């Protein structure tokens, strides 16, 4: 999918975002914020939350701050999710955290398959398929990441890469369950680089994601929420979020500041 290729209408895509898909904006804090910093962020963010209608908001702190985040967000519209999880309920997996542990804390879901997990920690598609199945079985919401490198994009291989990732990662998910997965398209070349896909590039890739899900189940292709991630900021959020196949964003660096994240969340309503 070269940069200058015009976006195409694909199966499962519509000219306007489906009213059945509730927009979602998630903050991925990565390895940032202590417990005290998490509490301070949520106190400030929740105190200014008026004016973000019609969107689900998710904050994903480090494991150490999950309990504090759940407690601070209790009774608010904000849900708390983890940045990773192990597929097994328990076992000899030093340093890992299980889904039952997250559920006990009141965590609502988990990010899985982020490019940093794939590239830096060797996370495989086989493991991701198991994680997705386990999260759904426990009633938690997976946010599955996919995306291509700059070299892959320049080679016109974006769709091939995304197809390979999604077919492998969703292999264990029943068609009837596909709509419960949230998919975040994150071009690796735009994560933490300050570079952002144009709204047209982001729309084209997210339409590809939706069409790939629709190949397995047309209803799931229409209902599944597809997020864009990759240097989402207050000044580009509205343009990105108004695209018909983009149902929100997975926000990295800009989510660390409560004012910036609030501005991005407000952008979902255009």
Catalytic residues: 114, 186
Kindly tell me the number of DSSP H helices and DSSP E strands found in the chain. Answer: 11, 8
Ordered structural domains, the chain, with CATH: 24-71+80-86+94-269 (3.20.20.70)
Q: H or E element: which one contains 222? A: helix 218-223
Q: H or E element: which one contains 262? A: helix 258-266
Q: What is the per-residue pLDDT across 194-250, written as a single tens digit (0 to 9) for each?
A: 777 899 999 999 999 999 999 999 999 999 999 999 889 999 999 999 999 999 999
Q: What confidence category does residue 142 fall into, taking pLDDT thresholds of 50, 70 and 90?
A: very high
pLDDT at 43 over 70: yes
What pLDDT is stored for residue 11 in this prediction? Answer: 41
């Amino acid at each position: 999918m070269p940069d200058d290729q015009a976006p195409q209408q694909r199966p499962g895509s519509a000219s306007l975002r489906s009213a059945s898909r509730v927009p979602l904006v998630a903050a991925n804090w990565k390895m940032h914020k202590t417990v005290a910093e998490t509490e301070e962020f949520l106190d400030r963010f929740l105190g200014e939350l008026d004016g973000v209608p019609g969107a689900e908001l998710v904050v994903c702190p480090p494991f150490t701050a999950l309990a504090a985040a759940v407690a601070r967000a209790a009774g608010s519209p904000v849900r708390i999710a983890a940045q990773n999880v192990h597929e097994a309920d328990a076992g000899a997996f030093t340093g890992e955290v299980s889904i039952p542990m997250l559920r006990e804390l009141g965590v609502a879901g988990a990010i899985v398959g982020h490019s940093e997990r794939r590239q830096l920690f060797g996370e495989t598609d086989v493991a991701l398929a198991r994680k997705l199945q386990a999260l759904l079985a426990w009633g938690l919401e997976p946010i599955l990441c996919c995306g291509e490198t700059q070299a892959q994009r320049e080679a016109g291989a974006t769709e091939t890469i995304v197809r390979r990732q999604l077919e492998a990662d969703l292999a264990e998910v029943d068609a009837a369950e596909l709509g419960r997965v949230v998919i975040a398209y994150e071009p690796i070349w735009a994560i933490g680089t300050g570079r952002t896909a144009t709204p047209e590039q982001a729309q084209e890739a997210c339409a590809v994601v939706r069409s790939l899900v629709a190949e397995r189940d047309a209803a799931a292709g229409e209902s599944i929420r597809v997020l864009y991630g990759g240097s989402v900021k207050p000044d580009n959020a509205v343009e990105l979020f108004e695209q018909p196949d983009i149902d929100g964003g997975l926000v990295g660096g800009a989510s660390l500041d409560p004012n910036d994240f609030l501005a991005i969340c407000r952008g979902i309503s255009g």
